Homo-oligomer: A and B are copies of this chain.
């Protein structure tokens, strides 16, 4: 006799396989697809999404989930977690009317299209109605999903299950003042560090070689992954055992491929680390965007921008680029990769200013969703916040409120996960150090195995079996806390800038 759990697994695997196929179609679209393939590709992805949606909202699943919950009541087991995750996804999927989903998809598609043109022409007026429509539809989605405290909560919950706007506000409030002060203090000494050495000529072949060497060194498994070149880098996967990263090579900006690759490798190692028992199930893979980002930022910044790492790696980098770096000491290089510059653009931001970019977006999203400001007022509010927090004022909306693609596609509630990741990365590393000892000597010796093993056993292996909050409580032994991150910044950049 087939148990309800077996039925659930069969159904889950089918939906999962459709989703993985769609992700491969997406990967190919960004990497190798010839221009001519674009129209058909959109249709193919839409077909897979439609069928997956039909299957994951099949009314018969409700009874299967109820029976499976009786068969596997303990949510800490693989099977129990599968039931929990599946129940949540099912309830969410059936709660949202197909019409609203279709409207959101349409608004996202039209919005992205309008955004590309509006940004190129610095024409906020033409983008405004699309932004307004996306905000309105996300309000409808939030009302549909329901909430107790803030209309922001159900939107954030889409990306960071169980997290609330109040948590994020508390987190930012505990460091906002210190962060603004630190940025201001560094800005006064902005000439103390130059990153000119990173802007020399770096040929693509060398960048490819070094990026792959570095990502393999920290533990990204190329037998279960690969790296390709794209315009906008990302990590994607089609199995625990096929997790791919992408990067871009800029001739006169070494950091792009180097730290971009370590960032995506961090995401990828998290995905590669799920227990093989979870393969093909929705419990495989990272548990939330925030926890995911904690791993990309940990490997990019806490490892890659750490002085000890370069004791290990700088010789290799220097020998790869003897012309550009032959006369540059490891200390000069280390300072360059950590230069802080309050700027207009989030994606170019350093470790110190990054979270202020996120804070601005988070505050803007709350104002818009709560109806406290209109889309007419939004550009001015945006610019005022940039002046207040970062001391810079956007000269136009293209590099101001229109710089990110997210809102054009209806992603509201997404940005905070970047900051959650940053904060968690430091808390997690501190906990690891408490268990395995000082990691700097290990990094200096090119030995990343102890750290990776610790992350693997504490976080990666669990996939998304646990809710992010529960997993973090297990790992950290307490709640998320922004102070360790602020302390880390103060110490590291205080030393670099002699504050």
State the CA gap A239–B40 with chains docked (Å). Answer: 6
State the CA gap A431–B22 with chains docked (Å). Answer: 44
B34 touches A48 (CB 8 A): no
Is A241 part of the binding interface, using a Cβ–Cβ cutoff of 8 Å? Answer: yes
| Residue of B with least CB distance to A33 | B242
Tell me which of B37, B48, B241, B244 contacts A17 (CB under 8 A). Answer: B48
Q: Mark A464-477, 1 if CB is under 8 A from B, else 0.
A: 00000000000000
Which of A85-93, A219-227, A316-324 sits within the interface? A219-227
- List 19 contacting pairs A-B, 8 Å CB cutoff, sorted by A: A17-B47, A17-B48, A18-B47, A18-B51, A21-B21, A21-B25, A21-B47, A24-B28, A32-B226, A32-B228, A34-B242, A34-B244, A36-B242, A37-B238, A39-B241, A40-B242, A41-B242, A43-B280, A44-B238
B36 touches A239 (CB 8 A): yes
A: which residues have CB within 8 A of B? 13-14, 17-18, 20-22, 24-25, 28, 32-37, 39-41, 43-44, 46-48, 50-51, 221-226, 228, 238-242, 244, 279-280
State the CA gap A28–B228 with chains docked (Å). Answer: 13
State the CA gap A35–B239 with chains docked (Å). Answer: 12
State the CA gap A82–B239 with chains docked (Å). Answer: 37
- On chain B, the residues within 8 Å of A44 by CB distance are 17, 20-21, 24, 238
Closest 10 CB pairs of A and B: A37-B242, A40-B239, A36-B224, A36-B241, A17-B47, A17-B44, A21-B44, A21-B21, A34-B226, A35-B223
| Residue of B with least CB distance to A241 | B36
A21 touches B34 (CB 8 A): no
- On chain B, the residues within 8 Å of A35 by CB distance are 223-224
- On chain B, the residues within 8 Å of A226 by CB distance are 32, 34
